[in-house]
């Protein structure tokens, strides 16, 4: 019908295929007069004369595009001009067919072509499956790594839900956590903790529901079995649970497919429930309308179930670790809080001191970490290091439990019983002198002494009473402690020479040597031995804290807390460290400790010093080489003490 019978050749082949029962089910078509296509399912073979390949390759371009996708191949009738047949076959041609090929030859070559496409499709499918498997495995490994490194429950739960939705293609989801300590799960509750939805934005609130078969999440928690539902609006008859549509109605959403998995501990204890909603064929699309749901949402398949089981198992372990870590944190926080309370019970006069020192020290550490110049421009403290500073500061005086209580709470230079003894002696001396004078007055009256002599005796009684009252007031004055070294001790020296006479006529000093020594204290209220005893609390602090296994994050707590009384010039205690031998954290704590001791209004042995005066005293310490000048400058310029007004009290103490 045309030159060289080309169309008639393709027509002959079409006729052969049409009458050959072996090609039953195949669809034959002529997309062009010079082409013949045989389609089997989604794949097809294009037959074309060889000169089409040579002269009209554009006719074969649509087929070649499908060759690349693995959905088609080409059979050439005759031999092309290109002498390199290997190159021709590599470019998409499956085989060459003789123009005069009979039905059997056509069957063999067409069958071979479709087998080739099927084999290629299976290979590509296996490749895609393997690629998907490797991808999913990689994701599960990354998820496992993320879950095992996150300990904060408030961040862990959203992370679990996000990863579960990602690997399954879920549009939305939520997580419930089991509450209660009863070993019988049916007596505990599920708390709705977090939810996510790619299609709509809303604020969720926590609520609880009982663990029972009345809800899907409760049923999964009770039975510890995965639940897959193609359409929650069409639950099978006899299902014990129902779906609450109130959320959908309120938000204009359509919940359809659902996959619910239990999260259990390594011991098989139910910890929570992971609920996924609406598996999408295209995860990036949003479900804005019911039509979108119908078009995009499909039931969760077996692969999704496998992936969720794997992830739920990982999540259960991560959740258990988070619970255990939170419990350890609570125990740890309780220990620190109890320790601080124990310190303050020993010395109620310093109540709140440990917390204030911790607040000031951490605040100063933050200031130091933000400095971009000066000697501490490279200093920076991580969250863990700031927590270490806080705990060390809270426990810096713990060693006071090893100091005698009477020394620890000594408010004046003399103990109360010492002051009472002096008062008794003064009163005795006054009464004894009065009795002596009265006895002399009686004898004078008996011998008829003049009025002037009797009056002189009365005046002597009054004079001695006034003198002893003055001595008592001098004792009371000298008994008051001072913040700085100083004071006039001439009165104390005079008192040390005073005596009184007992009923047997023996003379005794009005003040003992120990009392004179105490009243002569130049600063504070403690004698040298008592100061040594108080200072020993630092040794006790370090000794006690060193026995606690703090772990790597907090391993320096004993050293930091045990060095807060060291001075740059080596005048501190207990080890007389100098300069860089003292940890930076301890240097900051020293400033906070001194400042709070000066400005605290709860000390019975002294009045609170105004901030300006306290800063002056810190300045004197800097001049003496005791405190770090740069740290005191930063403390002053940043007005760190104002943080005390914003500190709301004890905060949660954590291991991280």
Q: Which residues contact 450 (CB under 8 A, 6 or more apart)?
A: none
What's the helix, strand, coil split of the chain in %, to 5?
55, 15, 30
In three-state secondary structure terms, 501 is strand
The CATH homologous superfamily of the domain defined by 152-325: GAF domain (3.30.450.40)
Output DSSP code: residue 412: S
Q: Is the dihedral of CA 266, 268, 273, 275 positive or negative?
A: positive
User: Which whole number is the average pLDDT over 148-172?
Assistant: 84
- Distance between first and last Cα of the chain: 88
Full-prediction pTM beyond 0.75? no
What pLDDT score does 276 carry?
A: 96
Q: Which of 460, 467, 420 lies closest to 438, judged by CA?
A: 460
Report d(CA 506, CA 342) in Å as an integer: 49
Confidence category of residue 603, pLDDT binned at 50, 70, 90: low
Q: Strands 207-210 and 189-197: what pairing?
A: antiparallel
- Residues, the chain, total? 656
Cα separation of 90 and 565, whole Å?
84
Give domain limits for the chain: 3-122, 152-325, 347-407+530-646, 416-524
**CA-based Rg of the chain, rounded to a whole angstrom?**
47
448: left (phi over 0), alpha (psi -120 to 50) or beta: left
Contact call for residues 227 and 216 (beta carbons, < 8 A): yes
| Interval 262-289: pLDDT, tens | 988 888 889 999 999 999 999 889 998 9
By DSSP bridging, strand 93-97 and strand 72-77 are: parallel
pLDDT the model gives residue 340: 86
Which one has a higher pLDDT value, 33 or 491?
33
Instruction: Indicate if the pLDDT at residue 654 is higher than 60.
Output: no
Region at 366 (left for phi over 0; alpha for psi -120 to 50; beta for the rest) = alpha
Q: How far is CA 391 from CA 332, 339, 387, 627, in A?
A: 10, 11, 6, 22
Mean pLDDT of the chain: 86
Q: At how many degrees (to 10) do helices 302-346 and 153-168 cross?
A: 170
164 confidence band (pLDDT: 50, 70, 90): confident
Domain topology for 347-407+530-646:
Hypothetical protein af1432 (1.10.3210)
Torsion angle, alpha carbons of 476, 477, 478, 480, to 10: 90
The tens digit of pLDDT for each residue in 547-587 reads 988 888 899 999 999 999 999 999 998 999 999 999 999 99
pLDDT at residue 243 in the model:
92
CATH topology of domain 3-122: 3.40.1340
Question: In three state form, how does the secondary structure of 552-601 look?
Answer: CCCCCHHHHHCCCCCCCECCCCCCCCEHHHCCHHHHHHHHHHHHHHHHCC
Structure tokens at 472: 């008592």
Question: For 46-97, what is each residue's pLDDT tens digit?
Answer: 999 999 998 998 999 999 988 888 889 999 998 898 888 888 888 888 888 8
Do 152-325 and 347-407+530-646 fold alike per CATH?
no
197, 199, 203, 207: CA torsion to nearest 10: -40
Query: In angstroms, how far apart are the furthest CA atoms of the chain?
Result: 180
């Amino acid at each position: 019908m045309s030159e060289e019978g080309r169309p008639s050749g393709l027509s002959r082949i079409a006729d052969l295929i049409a009458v050959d029962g072996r090609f039953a089910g195949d669809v034959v078509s002529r997309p062009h007069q010079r082409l013949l296509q045989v389609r089997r399912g989604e794949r097809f073979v294009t037959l074309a004369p060889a000169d089409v390949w040579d002269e009209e390759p554009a006719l074969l371009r649509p087929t070649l595009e499908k060759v690349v996708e693995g959905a088609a191949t080409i059979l050439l009738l005759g031999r092309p001009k290109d002498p390199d047949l290997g190159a021709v076959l590599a470019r998409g041609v499956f085989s060459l067919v003789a123009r005069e090929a009979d039905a059997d030859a056509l069957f063999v070559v067409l069958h071979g072509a479709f087998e080739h496409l099927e084999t290629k499709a299976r290979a590509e499918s296996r490749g895609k499956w393997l690629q998907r498997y490797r991808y999913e495995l990689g994701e599960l490994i990354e998820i496992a790594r993320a879950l095992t490194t996150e300990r904060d429950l408030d961040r862990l739960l959203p992370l679990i839900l996000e990863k579960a939705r990602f690997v399954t293609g879920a549009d939305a989801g939520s997580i419930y956590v089991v509450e209660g300590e009863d070993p019988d799960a049916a007596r505990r509750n599920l708390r709705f903790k977090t939810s996510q939805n790619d299609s709509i934005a809303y604020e969720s609130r926590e609520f609880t529901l009982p663990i029972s078969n009345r809800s899907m999440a409760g049923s999964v928690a009770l039975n510890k079995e995965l639940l897959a539902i193609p359409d929650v609006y069409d639950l099978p008859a006899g299902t014990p649970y129902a779906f609450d549509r109130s959320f959908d109605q309120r938000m204009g959403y359509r919940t359809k497919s659902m996959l619910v998995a239990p999260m259990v501990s390594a011991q098989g204890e139910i910890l929570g429930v992971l609920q996924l909603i609406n598996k999408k064929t295209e995860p990036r699309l949003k479900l804005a309308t019911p039509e979108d749901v119908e078009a995009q949402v499909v039931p969760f398949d077996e692969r999704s179930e496998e992936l969720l089981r794997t992830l739920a198992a990982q999540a259960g372990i991560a959740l258990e670790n988070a619970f255990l870590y939170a419990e350890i944190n609570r125990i740890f926080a309780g220990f620190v809080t109890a320790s601080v309370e124990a310190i303050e019970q020993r010395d109620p006069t310093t109540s709140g001191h440990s917390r204030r020192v911790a607040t000031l020290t951490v605040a100063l550490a933050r200031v130091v970490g933000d400095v971009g110049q000066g000697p501490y421009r490279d200093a920076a403290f991580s969250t863990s290091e700031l927590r270490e500073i806080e705990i060390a500061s809270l426990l810096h005086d713990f060693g006071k439990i090893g100091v005698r209580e009477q020394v620890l709470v000594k408010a004046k230079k003399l103990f109360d019983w010492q002051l009472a003894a002096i008062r008794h002696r003064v009163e005795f001396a006054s009464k004894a002198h009065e009795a002596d004078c009265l006895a002399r007055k009686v004898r004078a009256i008996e011998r008829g002494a003049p009025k002037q002599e009797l009056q002189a005796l009365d005046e002597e009684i009054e004079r001695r009473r006034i003198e002893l009252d003055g001595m008592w007031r001098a004792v009371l004055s000298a008994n008051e402690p001072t913040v700085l070294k100083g004071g006039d001790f001439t009165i104390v020296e005079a008192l040390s020479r005073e005596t009184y006479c007992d009923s047997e006529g023996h003379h005794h000093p009005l003040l003992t040597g120990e009392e004179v020594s105490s009243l002569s204290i130049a600063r504070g209220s403690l004698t040298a031995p008592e100061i040594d005893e108080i200072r020993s609390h630092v040794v006790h602090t370090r000794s006690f804290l060193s026995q606690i296994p703090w772990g790597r994050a907090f391993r320096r707590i004993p050293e930091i807390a045990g060095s807060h009384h060291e001075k740059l010039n080596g005048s501190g205690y207990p080890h007389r460290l100098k300069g860089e031998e003292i940890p930076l954290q301890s240097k900051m704590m020293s400033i906070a400790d001194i400042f709070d001791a000066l400005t605290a209004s709860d000390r019975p042995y002294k009045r609170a010093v105004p901030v300006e005066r306290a800063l002056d005293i810190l300045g004197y310490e800097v001049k003496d080489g005791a405190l770090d000048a740069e740290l005191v400058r930063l403390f002053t310029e940043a007005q760190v003490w104002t943080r005390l007004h914003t500190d709301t009290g004890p905060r949660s103490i954590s291991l991280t």
